[in-house]
Amino acid sequence: MSIFIITGISGSGKSVALRALEDAGYDCVDNLPVSLLENLVETLQTSGSEHIAVAIDARRGLSIQEIPTIIAKLKKHLSVQLIFLNATNEALLKRFSETRRRHPLSAKNLDHSQKSLIDAIDLERQMLSSLSENALQIDTSNALSSSLRQWILDLTENTQPGLTLLLESFGFKSGLPQDADLVFDLRCIPNPYYEDTLRHLSGNDQEVVDFLNLQPDFEKLRQDILLFIHNWLPKYQKSGRSYLTVGVGCTGGQHRSVAMVNHLFLSCSKNQTDLFKNINCLYRHRDLSAAHNKSPH
């Protein structure tokens, strides 16, 4: 049995994630009381269910702090993935403004002013801080619903035990990804954007890859990042981590970082050494438009 527990900041996309899992054949429960989680798993397991997804948020109050202990018990005999969705305050304010929905932690006597919403978001971050540290974090600040849906579906194909290595391209002009544990900066590499024939393409296109392969520093930096991952991944594994997100950024997140993440993903996922045998390697392109978002070769 595989279990996904979806949590995170209100407005960050928990409903989208849960619907994606439901469409993937998971038995889904929204806003489950924490005290019922173990009973639910036991009941569905008895009925023959193989895939469960549960969304739990800060409306459950302090009881949500019990989730890490429950997960540790479930992991002894089941595959459990804790997913924490997050977004910047700016993105959350915009979403609540567009939907005109009240934040679930807003007091009834407060209006919808920006101050009351910010207070509710800050309170929620404090309540959920212990969960975010031990989860696979996904920053949805700049993500379309379709992109988040695909990221969640990708995770369902990698539920085997072991550390999950997530390689993420991004553009510095849109801000650092909140979910990144390590960040590498590619802005020192010549930018294909300034080549007229390459500007409209992305790092998924062979023409851009060919241009970057002609830059000696691009290959040297790729080897240095791979060496860093190879040397330090065992340390992260020994520390008990389940997830490690490596952010790779360029100016716009369209060319250099995309091509680099594709290179790194192929190198890590095809590596059959003992280090990578128990590693679940995933990738995503945070700022790449849907029109350019293709799988690496």
Q: Which two tokens stand for residue 13?
A: 């996309």
Say whether both 9 and 151 belong to one domain: yes
Say whether both 124 and 201 belong to one domain: no
Any domain includes 42: yes
pLDDT for the residue numbered 295: 59
Any domain includes 188: yes
Domain's final residue, options 131, 156, 181:
156
Say whether both 127 and 151 belong to one domain: yes
pLDDT for the residue numbered 140: 92
Say whether both 136 and 259 belong to one domain: no
Domain count, the chain: 2
Any domain includes 274: yes
Say whether both 253 and 107 belong to one domain: no
Say whether both 207 and 99 belong to one domain: no
Say whether both 66 and 203 belong to one domain: no
- For the stretch 160-181, pLDDT in tens is 556 889 999 999 999 998 889 9
pLDDT for the residue numbered 236: 85
The secondary structure element, H or E, covering residue 245 is: strand 243-250
CB contact at 8 A, 30 and 55? yes
- 118: domain range? 2-156
Any domain includes 297: no
Rounded Cα distance, 262 and 285, in Å: 9
Q: What is the CATH number of the domain that holds 47?
A: 3.40.50.300
pTM of the model: 0.69
Domain's final residue, options 138, 156, 174:
156
CA 139 remoteness from chain centre: 6
Domain's final residue, options 156, 184, 214:
156
CB contact at 8 A, 92 and 11? yes
Say whether both 123 and 191 belong to one domain: no
Any domain includes 232: yes
Residues lower than pLDDT 70 in the chain: 107-115, 158-162, 272-274, 289-297
pLDDT for the residue numbered 280: 82
pLDDT for the residue numbered 144: 85
List alpha helices for 33-192, DSSP H: 37-46, 67-74, 89-99, 114-132, 145-156
- For the stretch 211-251, pLDDT in tens is 999 999 999 999 999 999 999 988 888 877 778 999 999 99
